[in-house]
Copies of this chain bind each other. A is one copy, B any other.
Amino acid sequence: MTSIGETELRERTRALLEQVHPDDPDVDCAAFRGAQFDHGLAWVHFPEGLGGLDLTRKAQVFVDDELRQHCKTVYNDLSVNAIGIGMGAPTVLAYGSEEMKRRYLRPIFTGEEIWCQLFSEPGAGSDVAGLSSRAVRDGDDWIVNGQKVWTSLAHYSAYGMLVTRTDPEAAKHDGLSYFVLDMKLPGVEVKPLHQITGEAEFNEVFLNDVRIPNSMMLGKEGQGWKVSITTLMNERVALGGGTESRRGAGPIQLLVDLWQERGGSDGSAADAVMRDRIAGLWIEYELLRLTNQRARSSMRSGVPGPEGSVGKLMSAELNKKLYEACLDVLEGEGLTYEPGFDLRRPSGKRLDRLSLIKHGFLRSRANSIEGGTSEIMRNILGERVLGLPQDVRVDKDRPWSEVPRNG
């Protein structure tokens, strides 16, 4: 840990902005964020030379604060490269070779290379470690066959974080390996997967005899599960929601605004009941925000622990309830669905608020499934936070090939 304090960090950020400024029309995202990376201001808790300055994770707020203060154009990690930045970078940092770190971290941060996550399979959802795509060693390469699902951004991605089985005779968690997959390799086929909104936000990715060099492995052979955990824990923090710094912001605001716009309570019994419900949801949302804040401030190491699962679970369950309440506030208007159900890619265009709410109502159903179902989150909280004993496992301590699975 170096001794750069808040003042110096703020100075360095201003120095960066003097060299290159995001509001300058000649400076695009890649150019600005490239410079930010080179100054060590991308992730200050990363090592020097790899986008960071070896500081604490918390110190990043001073950089971000300066950028917000002095720039109109503020790039958001989630828009630039959500998965690459949120999950890919920490995983590469933790397990990649020096060469890989130098090669991949910068374009992840600049968004020049989008990343996606190739974990889930049709037969392996909650039980990701039960996946059955196979990589077979062939000289310096691995030949991979199988199918992945729920891959968001696959159709834009340069690289994918691929977990696949390299040893079916090992116990299930021991037979996996983790690769960085070049999505342009022959045999990688991406197909849209339509969800209940009609849109295809996710993909199916088919892997047919895809040849991956052994050098693209993250961690060691058979260490894939361990590496995946790093990725998944970072995912749950990202999905924890309620990260708004301001009370009453976020999805709860949609509900409160909708309610107030429609006149709020008219004193009727029905409105009093809805008002009570909204107050209850407001409280839950505020407590999600505060609980996440407490979790962050008690997170001393840079590695997210199981505590992140509290936020993920609360957020997923609460988000569904918030949108359900929105539809009830809409009454009859909730019967119509203006965004329409065309089978297409998400349009990316900004929806009007009514459409945003209705789309959000449907989209929210996935919150308690994606990134670990609420059931899995409760297992994690029970076992890893409270120390309760594991369920009886019939899939451990024997070769994966002998464990029952979907046909």
Contacts and interface: CB of A to CB of B under 8 A. Distances in A.
Interface of A: 265, 268-270, 272-273, 275-276, 391-392, 394
Nearest first, the 4 closest Cβ-Cβ pairs linking A and B are: A272-B272, A269-B272, A392-B392, A273-B276
Contacts of A276: 269, 273
Number of copies: 2
A394 B276 CA distance: 47
Nearest to A275: B269
Nearest to A391: B392
13 contacts: A265-B269, A268-B272, A269-B272, A269-B275, A269-B276, A270-B272, A272-B272, A272-B273, A273-B273, A273-B276, A391-B392, A392-B392, A392-B394
Contacts of A265: 269
A274 to B, nearest CB: 10
A268 B268 CA distance: 9
A273 to B, nearest CB: 5
Contacts of A270: 272
A265 B272 CA distance: 12
Contacts of A392: 391-392, 394
Contacts of A269: 265, 272, 275-276
Nearest to A272: B272
Which of A269, A270, A392, A394 is packed against the most chain B CB atoms within 10 Å? A269
A379 to B, nearest CB: 15
A165 B233 CA distance: 48
A269 B392 CA distance: 49
A394 B391 CA distance: 11
